[in-house]
A and B are shown apart, each in its own frame.
Chain A
Amino acid sequence: MSLRTDTPGVTPPFRRLLVANRGEIAIRVIRACRELGISPIAVHSEVDADALHVRAADRSELIGPAAARDSYLSIDAILDAGRRSGAEAIHPGYGFLSENATFAAAVEAAGFVFVGPPASALEALGNKLAARRAADGGGVPIVPGTTVALGDDTSAVAGIGYPVMLKAAAGGGGRGMRRVDREADLSDAMAAARREAEAAFGDGTIYVERMVTPARHVEVQLLGDRHGGLAVLGERDCSIQRRHQKLVEESPSPALDEATRSALFESARRVARTVDFHNAATVEFLVDDRLDHFFLEMNTRLQVEHGVTELVTGLDLVGWQIRVAAGEALPPAVLEAPRHGHAIEVRIYAEDPYDGFRPTAGRIGAWQMPEGPGVRIDAGVAADMELRTEYDPLLVKLMVHADNRPAAVARLRRVLDETRIGGLQTDAGFLRWLLEDPAFVAGDYDTGFIATRWRNGPPLGGEERQLAATLAAAAREAEAVPTRRPAPAATSAWAREARRDALRR
């Protein structure tokens, strides 16, 4: 056999790379490997043997049972898989072990290259309280609040002024966060936040911040090499959130002026300088209605929404993560990458937006994805697949790119109309509504948007009801006619239309 498997003109930075993740992000990393001529190795739990990311890789290693703590979160199982497959490097994706300093150190100690910032940076910035102190010390504005753990003495809280936000020092993904509006609710909220933090992260340490409201959530993408090169690749506005988790991200942020943007970029650089930094990371800020910004946290990994930045910069962030991990220096084309146009991402989750974004489950039926100019789809599932409730309910990220924001919004509307996902309720209903909402269309929104403008969505309209009734009745009628025969229903529908046409004439 002489099938060529290398990529002409590319010297692969590694021969084999283990992707220690699943779903759409594992597929994203596998694609970067392919383009760099690297052989991608997947990992899978017992229930993921047929998952899409397994099929996308050259081979896949079984790492344990369905429960993430025994498979995708098991450092030993991942390292064993790395050794068995002969991988030289390990990419953690996002979530799971991606920000785990112990994992990063263990990967390097076992002789693999960790595709991410150094373990010391993960250690220093992983604890949100420590990160707040570091940013403060680096001259970056932080949200007013405590820089030490909140104990039984709560006198500091009164000084900050209500409403306040309780947060877990070990937090992430919106867990262990509690808004408190008055002193009477404080002790109950503290107990609840501690419990949640203890359960989610094994660390009940909490601290308190002033509630910045209204606020936009704006983050800055960083990419650094091992030689001191640091690229600031623009910002993303991620203010459309439910449960403090993002649903929509866009770049550039419609809220920023050039002065605020530069100030944000400078603050992001300063945070990165507080640690030994290379690879990809994101610095998150809150921006208030006076355009003052406050450091929130630094995510020392690839973000879910990295594709938005890839669309406006034209760079392959994941490819560059792998190349800088191998020691390559960032060229001027990356360090001073210009940004073009406007990009928006929407995340389609198995969630019911008409019922508090409650998770839904089941089997995906129809799966029709959009195509055409300016569209990118990063999906982790396909038609007729059973959803695993053990893992993240993200189904697909739809991204669009256009010359400017109005064109990007129009393109996204078209893209959502082309997208059809059957079998379960997704948040697509909310997203389609969002693109007609005058405040969103005007770029005028903040982190309270879903709670104040959407709540549980508008009631069903009269026309919607009628159309639903019509289609269901037609489906029941058509049921009597077998589907596999030469499409009698289609013929009859087209024939009916033709008859109508004839009558109109």
Chain B
Amino acid sequence: MSDHEIRVDGEPTEAADVVVEWEDRDHGLARLVVDGRAVPAIVEGAGSEWFVTLRGRRIPVTVRTWRERVLAEAETAARVHGGPTVVKATLPGLVVAVAVAEGEEVEEGSPLLTIEAMKMQNEVRAPRAGRVVAVEVAAGQAVATGAALLRLE
């Protein structure tokens, strides 16, 4: 296990000396025994990307080998040095408004478009500063999770 780098919600974390007992591997049901008390948990994911749910809180965890770590760092470096960023839908819904046009410069955090899901309006904001090079959707269009909404450069 020591050859894995573990990050919990982005922060490097060491595994503890705690017993893990599986209840239902297919659904990721497990329990951790801490000081003689069982803590029920869920673990979901595959490869390096995992989610652990403890007491109702779903915590993102990455468990990476040395090789995966090097690759991920190279990818981050490429992004920082100005490659295009694709803004994707994080939930399925209906695009109700697009606030920007192609060619427009945006600040990090400025509103890009609004997606309605579960009867709520959710604003999608710019993950970084840049120029809008392509708007892939229009108001009234339904989008699935992961759909490309627009591209920033």
Per the bound structure, the CA–CA distance linking A478 and B21 in Å amounts to: 11
Q: How large is the interface on A (under 10, 10 to 19, 20 to 34, 35 or more residues)?
A: 35 or more
Residue in contact with A467 in the complex, picked from B23, B46, B54, B92, CB distance below 8 Å:
B54
Q: Are B25 and A473 in touch, CB under 8 angstroms? A: no
B118: chain A residues at CB < 8 Å are: 350, 359, 361, 389, 391-393
Residue in contact with A497 in the complex, picked from B25, B33, B39, B40, CB distance below 8 Å:
B33
Which chain A residues in 457-505 approach chain B with CB under 8 Å? Answer: 457, 460, 463-479, 483, 487, 489-490, 493-494, 496-497, 500
- Do A468 and B28 form a contact, CB below 8 Å, given A359-B120, A389-B93, A417-B40? no
Residue in contact with A471 in the complex, picked from B48, B52, B57, B93, CB distance below 8 Å:
B52
Residue in contact with A460 in the complex, picked from B8, B18, B41, B47, CB distance below 8 Å:
B8
B56: chain A residues at CB < 8 Å are: 416, 426-432
Q: Are B22 and A493 in touch, CB under 8 angstroms? A: yes
Please name the residue on chain B nearest to A459 by beta carbon.
B9
B30: chain A residues at CB < 8 Å are: 471, 474-475
Residue in contact with A429 in the complex, picked from B22, B34, B55, B93, CB distance below 8 Å:
B55
B27: chain A residues at CB < 8 Å are: 365-366, 383, 422
A373-392 vs B, CB cutoff 8 Å, 1 = contact: the mask equals 00000000001000001011
B29: chain A residues at CB < 8 Å are: 366, 368, 420
Q: Are B40 and A478 in touch, CB under 8 angstroms? A: no
Which chain B residues in 1-46 approach chain A with CB under 8 Å? Answer: 1, 4, 6, 8-9, 11, 13-16, 18-30, 32-34, 39-46
Interface residue? A360 (CB, 8 A): yes
Residue in contact with A475 in the complex, picked from B50, B92, B117, CB distance below 8 Å:
B50
Q: How large is the interface on B (under 10, 10 to 19, 20 to 34, 35 or more residues)?
A: 35 or more
Q: Are A493 and B4 in touch, CB under 8 angstroms? A: no
Please name the residue on chain B nearest to A418 by beta carbon.
B40
Q: Are A389 and B117 in touch, CB under 8 angstroms? A: yes
Per the bound structure, the CA–CA distance linking A422 and B6 in Å amounts to: 21
Q: Are B55 and A432 in touch, CB under 8 angstroms? A: yes
B93: chain A residues at CB < 8 Å are: 361, 389
Q: Are B117 and A361 in touch, CB under 8 angstroms? A: yes
Interface residue? B110 (CB, 8 A): no
Q: Are A365 and B45 in touch, CB under 8 angstroms? A: no
Please name the residue on chain B nearest to A494 by beta carbon.
B21
A429: chain B residues at CB < 8 Å are: 55-58
Please name the residue on chain B nearest to A362 by beta carbon.
B145
Interface residue? A423 (CB, 8 A): yes
A401-443 vs B, CB cutoff 8 Å, 1 = contact: the mask equals 0000000000000001110111111111111110000000000
Q: Are B45 and A472 in touch, CB under 8 angstroms? A: yes
- Do A465 and B44 form a contact, CB below 8 Å, given A470-B15, A489-B22? no
Interface residue? B122 (CB, 8 A): yes
Q: Secondary structure at chain A's binding surface: helix, strand, loop or mixed?
A: helix
- Do A466 and B91 form a contact, CB below 8 Å, given A359-B122, A366-B42? no
Per the bound structure, the CA–CA distance linking A366 and B27 in Å amounts to: 5
Q: Are A366 and B58 in touch, CB under 8 angstroms? A: no
A500: chain B residues at CB < 8 Å are: 19
Interface residue? B59 (CB, 8 A): yes
> Which of A424, A457, A465 has the most B CB atoms < 10 Å from its CB?
A465
- Do A467 and B16 form a contact, CB below 8 Å, given A368-B29, A473-B4, A477-B1? yes
Shortest distance between the CB of B75 and any CB in chain A (Å)? 20
Interface residue? B63 (CB, 8 A): yes
Per the bound structure, the CA–CA distance linking A483 and B15 in Å amounts to: 23
Interface residue? B67 (CB, 8 A): no
Shortest distance between the CB of B121 and any CB in chain A (Å)? 10
Shortest distance between the CB of B3 and any CB in chain A (Å)? 11
Interface residue? B150 (CB, 8 A): no
Shortest distance between the CB of B56 and any CB in chain A (Å)? 3
Interface residue? B81 (CB, 8 A): no
A464: chain B residues at CB < 8 Å are: 54, 57, 59
Interface residue? A354 (CB, 8 A): yes
Per the bound structure, the CA–CA distance linking A457 and B55 in Å amounts to: 13
Per the bound structure, the CA–CA distance linking A112 and B74 in Å amounts to: 68
Residue in contact with A424 in the complex, picked from B18, B58, B59, CB distance below 8 Å:
B58
A423: chain B residues at CB < 8 Å are: 44
Q: Are A470 and B9 in touch, CB under 8 angstroms? A: no
Per the bound structure, the CA–CA distance linking A362 and B89 in Å amounts to: 12
- Do A489 and B25 form a contact, CB below 8 Å, given A429-B57, A466-B16, A471-B32? yes
Residues of chain B whose beta carbon lies under 8 Å from any beta carbon of chain A:
1, 4, 6, 8-9, 11, 13-16, 18-30, 32-34, 39-48, 50, 52-59, 61-63, 91-93, 117-120, 122, 145
Residues of chain A whose beta carbon lies under 8 Å from any beta carbon of chain B:
350, 354, 358-362, 365-366, 368, 383, 389, 391-393, 416-418, 420-433, 457, 460, 463-479, 483, 487, 489-490, 493-494, 496-497, 500
Given contacts A431-B56, A490-B22, 16 further A-B contacts (CB under 8 A): A361-B93, A361-B118, A362-B91, A392-B118, A422-B44, A428-B56, A460-B57, A467-B54, A468-B59, A470-B20, A472-B45, A473-B6, A476-B4, A479-B47, A487-B25, A497-B19
In the A-B complex, list the 6 residue pairs whose CB atoms are closest, starting with the nearest. A428-B56, A429-B56, A472-B61, A359-B118, A429-B57, A366-B27
